[in-house]
Structure 1
Amino acid sequence: MADFSLYSINAILILDNEGKRLFAKYYTPIHSTEPAPFPTLKSQLAFESSLFSKTYKLKSDIILFENQVVVYKEISDIIIYIIGNIDENEACLYQVLIGLRDALDVVLRHAIDKKSVQENYDFVCLAIDETCDDGIILETEGSVIASRVSTRPSAETPSLRNIELSEKGVSKLMSFLF
Structure 2
Amino acid sequence: MQRPEAWPRPHPGEGASAAQARGATPPTRATEPRFQEPSLYTIKAVFILDNDGRRLLAKYYDDTFPSMKEQMVFEKNVFNKTSRAESEIAFLGGMTIVYKSSIDLLLYVVGSSSENELMLMSVLACLFDSLSHILRKNVEKRWLLENMDGAFLVLDEIVDGGLMTLA
Which among 25, 38, 46 is matched to residue 59 of structure 2?
Answer: 25
Say if 2:80 is the partner of 1:53: yes
Larger Rg: 2
Which among 131, 148, 155 is matched to residue 158 of structure 2?
Answer: 131
Q: Kindly, what percent of the aligned residue pairs are identical? A: 40
What secondary structure is seen at the aligned counterpart in 2 of 1:80?
A: strand
Structure 1 residue 57 displacement after superposition: 2.0
| Mapping 1:11-160, distance limit 5 Å | 11-28=45-62, 36-139=63-166
Q: Would you say how many aligned residue pairs link Structure 1 and Structure 2?
A: 133
Gaps of 5+ in 1: 29-35, 141-178
Say if 2:37 is the partner of 1:3: yes
For normalisation by structure 1, the TM-score amounts to 0.73
Deviations 1:22-55 (CA, angstroms, capped at 9, x unpaired): 0010002xxxxxxx21111111111111110110
**Matches of 2:53 and 2:74, distance apart in 1:** 11
**Matches of 2:92 and 2:136, distance apart in 1:** 32
What secondary structure is seen at the aligned counterpart in 2 of 1:14?
A: strand
For normalisation by structure 2, the TM-score amounts to 0.78
Structure 1 residue 3 displacement after superposition: 1.2
Letter of the aligned partner of 1:103 in structure 2? S
What secondary structure is seen at the aligned counterpart in 2 of 1:11?
A: strand
Could you say which structure has the higher helix fraction? 1
**Matches of 2:98 and 2:67, distance apart in 1:** 23
RMSD: 0.9
Structure 1 residue 136 displacement after superposition: 0.1
